[in-house]
Amino acid sequence: MPASPSSSGQQARQAIADRLREILRDSGLTARALARQAGWDETKCSRLIHARTPPSDDDIRTWCRICGAEDEIPNLIAASRSAENAYLEWRRVQRSMKRMQDLGLRLFEDNRVYRFYSSNLVPWPLQTPGYMRAIMQRFSDFHRADVPDIEDGVRTRMARRRFLDDGTRRCAMIIEESVLRNRVFGDEVMKDQFRHLLTGMRQTNLSLGIIPLAAVRVQKLTETFHIYGDNTVSIELVSAIITITQPREIDLYIRCFNDLASAAVYGDKAEALITAAIGALE
């Protein structure tokens, strides 16, 4: 497994190594005793607990089994698998907008329940082509990247909607009212997008909640995050996409989403906020 240039990737690997060290200490075994029982060279234990060598799935299973900590295996394996790809800098994917869309497509194909929270933009399942195009162009300009395949990216994202059209998948979306109030793109693009929200939110397997500006709430976030099934969370930051696959962390985001959902309004109240936003652009 190649070393990651990202400091966040190194921190993730170090956290796994630290946990292996704690498990070893709690077991009362020495590194030499563990290596002997595992049939390893003694230096392997040193490399693992100092994060010089990333553990394989089998390494983790063996380590935890010998130390009597088999309940740690699922979380450690999930953390180890995601450590190298957990922090993906935008500059690594910006050369191909379509590649970014393909990353999301695989997550959509593999799951049937999706939860999206956005503090700044309309989530993609309810985006119009014009809104998508404006987002991708803004991304290209901000990161100072020449992105020639914006139209391919738009087509890929539009094609992804077929997963919601078959009625077997469910999507819950929550946005802040500020998404409706901030004029991030031209008025015509925004009005077209908001009119589409009024139509799209009536889809039976899709729900749209809007958190009013004056809502009483227990959570206030700035980052956008997407939850795919119960196995992956994707978080969008200014500089990177962070992917989380560790069950304990995913559970925190699911609980956070539920808190945000409790502060949102739906149905007629949500429609009223959208209609007011359209009126403000007229």
Q: In sequence order, what DSSP letters do the residues of 231-248 get, joined into one string?
A: TEEEEE-SSEEEEE--HH
Is the pTM value of this prediction over 0.95? no
The rounded distance, in Å, linking the Cα atoms of 13 and 46 is 14
| 10-27 pLDDT, tens digit each | 677 888 999 999 999 999
How confident is the model at residue 5, as a pLDDT? Answer: 36
Q: Do domains 7-83 and 87-281 have the same CATH topology?
A: no
Rg (CA), the chain: 22
- In our burial notation (b when 16+ CB lie closer than 10 A, e otherwise), range 205-236 reads ebbbbbbbeeeeeeeeeeebbbbbeeebbbbe
> Where do runs of H (alpha helix) occur along the chain?
7-27, 31-38, 42-49, 57-66, 73-83, 90-93, 97-110, 129-142, 150-159, 162-165, 178-181, 187-200, 247-263, 267-281
The domains of the chain are located at 7-83, 87-281
Quick one: 188 exposed, middle or buried, by C-beta within 10 A (0-12, 13-18, 19+)? exposed
How confident is the model at residue 10, as a pLDDT? Answer: 67
User: What fold does the segment set 87-281 form as a domain?
Assistant: Endonuclease; Chain A (3.30.870)
Per-residue pLDDT for the chain (282 aa), expressed as one digit of tens each? 333 334 455 677 888 999 999 999 999 999 999 999 999 998 999 999 998 888 999 999 999 999 999 999 998 888 887 665 555 554 555 554 555 566 667 788 888 999 999 999 999 899 999 999 998 888 777 766 665 577 877 887 888 888 888 788 999 999 999 999 999 999 999 999 999 999 999 999 999 999 999 999 888 888 899 999 998 898 877 666 778 877 888 999 999 999 999 999 999 999 999 999 999 998
> Considering the domain 7-83 in this protein, what is its CATH number?
1.10.260.40
